[in-house]
Amino acid sequence: MSDYYVYVYVDPRNLEEFYYGKGKGSRKNAHLNDVSDSEKSRRIAAIGKAGLEPIIRVVARNLSEHDALLVEKTLLWKLGRQLTNVSSGHYSDNFRPHNTMHLELSGFDFRNAIYYYNVGEGAHRNWDDYRQFEFISAGQGIKWRDAMLGFQPGDIVAAYLKRRGFVGIGQILNRASPIREVTVGGEPLLSKNLCCEGMSENVDSNELCEYVCRVRWVETTDRSAAKWKPKAKLFTTTHVRASLDRQPKTIEFLNREFKTDLQALLS
């Protein structure tokens, strides 16, 4: 289907572009009736009080939804703060964060990245399995699968165990695969004596099964000796995967505690 387009709202008082969107049919006109308390709606209301209407123009047409999303995100990134859009969601991770041109960012200015990885112990995951058989995983849902698919061979991961701290530094060896396809020492991973029996749940579903990356562990520690420092403003999140590009305190902490150099490992 190629019936999507990307449109722009222009303020007729100064010809400033202030909103980009994507849609099909009459979608481009829908914002004129928006009464929410958003910056976009306030701008449209101010234009109306001046006895004018926003200039609405289509800037790209005959697009698939995928292409429309990408064009929209490119325009949002380019114009940044002068827009009333909230730039998030689709493709947001593919674009360089604003105000970082003075930095060299992993994944943008050099190929691989340094990531926080949330072990997320529970019914489907166990740190002892990861440590013994040299892998990490996540799954049981599309967003967790997609987080694993974001890892590239050569990426560095700092494994975090909730309520304990950081337990390992490793390097990704391969793109994530469904767990049923993963072997360790020539044998299926699922044939190993895993602590976590739930890893085989939804094994035949490409959307719901666990997705696994093999890892070369550089340094690991038992959960009882996890690395942590209270009130040190160390980075954590509930997300499976998150960039550590702009977390210098956490990088410094990891380098010191695991006696390594994460930047050097990237090369």
Q: Are 84 and 14 contained in the same domain?
A: yes
Q: Are 72 and 169 contained in the same domain?
A: no
Query: In the beta sheet, which residues pair with residue 183?
Result: 188
Residue 263 banded pLDDT, cuts 50, 70, 90: confident
**Ramachandran quadrant class, 117 (left: phi over 0; alpha: psi -120 to 50; beta: rest):** beta
Q: Are 87 and 125 contained in the same domain?
A: no
Q: Are 208 and 250 contained in the same domain?
A: yes
Flag whether 107 is in a domain: no
pLDDT tens-digit map of 170-198: 999 999 999 999 999 999 999 999 999 89
Q: How far apart are CA 134 and CA 214, in angstroms?
A: 6
Helix, strand, coil content of the chain in percent (nearest 5): 30, 25, 40
Residue 1 banded pLDDT, cuts 50, 70, 90: low
Query: Is it the case that residue 92 has pLDDT exceeding 80?
Result: no
pLDDT tens-digit map of 106-116: 667 767 889 99
User: Which tokens hold the place of 119?
Assistant: 């072990």
Q: Are 71 and 139 contained in the same domain?
A: no
Average of per-residue pLDDT across 9-24: 92
Q: How far apart are CA 48 and CA 119, in angstroms?
A: 52
Owning domain of residue 25:
4-94
Flag whether 55 is in a domain: yes
Q: Are 250 and 206 contained in the same domain?
A: yes
Q: Which of 53, 73, 71 is nearest to 62 (CA)?
A: 71
Q: Are 73 and 154 contained in the same domain?
A: no
Average of per-residue pLDDT across 28-46: 90
DSSP string, 141-160: SHHHHHHHHT--TT-EEEEE
Q: What is the per-residue pLDDT for 80? A: 66
CATH number at residue 122: 3.10.590
Core vs surface per residue 251-264: b (16+ CB within 10 A) or e: bebbbebbebebee
Least confident range from 44-58, 66-80, 210-224, 249-263: namely: 66-80
Query: Is it the case that residue 155 has pLDDT exceeding 90?
Result: yes
Flag whether 104 is in a domain: no
Q: Are 75 and 118 contained in the same domain?
A: no
Query: In the beta sheet, which residues pair with residue 136?
Result: 213
Q: How far is CA 193 from CA 71, 132, 133, 216, in A?
A: 48, 10, 10, 20
Q: Are 82 and 167 contained in the same domain?
A: no
- Find the DSSP H helices in 56-200: 65-79, 127-133, 142-149
Q: Are 136 and 241 contained in the same domain?
A: yes
Flag whether 105 is in a domain: no
How many domains would you assign to the chain? 2
Average of per-residue pLDDT across 160-166: 96
From 42, 64, 94, give the residue that closes a domain: 94
Flag whether 26 is in a domain: yes
Alpha-carbon 178 to chain mean position? 19
CATH number at residue 12: 3.40.1440
Flag whether 180 is in a domain: yes
Q: How far apart are CA 139 and CA 203, in angstroms?
A: 10
Q: Are 63 and 182 contained in the same domain?
A: no
Q: Which is higher by pLDDT, 78 or 220?
A: 220
Flag whether 102 is in a domain: no
From 37, 60, 94, give the residue that closes a domain: 94
Do 113 and 156 touch, CB atoms closer than 8 A?
A: yes
Q: Are 83 and 125 contained in the same domain?
A: no
Average of per-residue pLDDT across 81-85: 57
Flag whether 75 is in a domain: yes
Q: How far apart are CA 137 and CA 257, in angstroms?
A: 24
HSE, side-chain direction, 13 A CA sphere, residue 80: 8
